[in-house]
Structure formats: structure tokens, C-alpha cells
Amino acid sequence: MAYLNLEPEMGPSELMEKMAAAIASVDSGEGVLICVDLFGGTPCNVALALTAETNSVCLTGINLGMLLEAVTLRGSGEGPISIANKLVETGKGGIQQVKIC
């Protein structure tokens, strides 16, 4: 597992270099799940470009519940696409409208 922060002074090319290195450092041959916050943001766009060059898949809209589930599923032996599908369901299930009356 690896993480990256997009720093204010960091451009897309520097982020791509760092993300490519992070992918290479964690890929055991089964592929890599890249989790980003917003669809269409710089991290997402860089991750999408790297999915074309690496054995990886990008999941956008990640929230804390999904991230915790990802950590739990990490050692399950499932591939990144299967884990991503489960995380999408976790994310959907975590969205609730609540009100105390």
C-alpha cells in the first residue's frame, strides 16, 4: 500500500512520476487499485492515464468507509477490479440521509 499527496507546487508530470513509482513499488503482479477522491481532478486524470500503461484500475469518489474496506480486502486474494466493485457497493451503502426529530 502506498499513498501520495498532491502538493500545491506539484504539477501533473511530477505527480505522474511519483504515482508511476508508487504503482511499481506495490504491484506484486496481480495489479493495483488506485483510489482517488474526485472524478476529473488532477490525481484522477493522472491515474487514468497510468491505467493505460500499467496493470491498474482507478476508483474515484473514495470516502473513509471505502478506504477502510479496501484495507480489509487487501489480503483477500481478490484482484483489484473485484475489490473495486465491492468498494463501490460499500460507498453506495454508506450514503444515508439522516435527521433527528
* Domain total in the chain: 1
Q: Is residue 2 domain-resident? A: no
Is-above-0.85 flag for pTM?
A: yes
The reported pLDDT for the residue numbered 49 is 97
The reported pLDDT for the residue numbered 75 is 82
Q: Is residue 1 domain-resident? A: no
Identify the CA nearest to 60 among candidates 75, 76, 72, 43: 43
Angle at which helix 64-73 crosses helix 80-93, to 10 degrees, equals 140
CA 12 to mean position of chain CA atoms? 17
Q: Rounded mean pLDDT of the chain? A: 93
Q: Is residue 98 domain-resident? A: no
CATH number at residue 77: 3.40.50.510
Query: Residue 72 is which amino acid?
Result: T
Name the pLDDT band for 24 (thresholds 50, 70, 90): very high
Domain ranges, residue 63: 12-93
